[in-house]
Amino acid sequence: MRRGAVAVIVENGKYLVIRRAAGVSAPGKLCFPGGGIEGEESEEAAVVRELREELAAHVRPLRRLWQCVTPWQVHLSWWLAERCRSAPLEPHPPEVAEYLWLTLEELEAHPDLLYSNREFLAAVARGELDVTYVRPVH
């Protein structure tokens, strides 16, 4: 079974999502950033690598939130992650058409959202998953 890792980044009550580019599977669909786990790569390393590749983002995986198997038989691990806010997000055009910051309600109502992402959001809405993270004060 193929494996993938997904980053869940929440800032100011909004979730970071991407619109998939025309040349990838499910073009034009919205989803959380992430992708395939390569070889013996850890889930955390895949989150870091995929976010760097897709958005030039520097992230720190915090904890696994959820797991699922998509209808396409991909085992996804969903990770709460924190990004370095000093570096701007820059979509990689072959993979990402654009990025958006959307609320839970906006995501749930969006017609372009991938199905597996809807299951995750439903679990969040039911209170089954805690996506909060309090940034430590130094």
Which residues does 120 contact at the CB level (< 8 Å), separation at least 6? 6, 8, 32, 66, 68, 78, 129
- pLDDT score at 116: 80
- pLDDT score at 2: 95
- pLDDT score at 108: 95
Question: Which residues of the chain, if any, have pLDDT below 50?
Answer: none
Pairing status of strand 14-20 against strand 10-11: antiparallel
User: Could you write out the three-class secondary structure of 78-116?
Assistant: EEEEEECCCCCCCCCCCCEEEEEEECHHHHHHCCCECHH
- pLDDT score at 67: 96
- pLDDT score at 136: 64
- pLDDT score at 70: 87
- pLDDT score at 103: 96
Total-model pTM? 0.93
Q: Which domains does the chain have, with CATH numbers?
A: 2-125 (3.90.79.10)
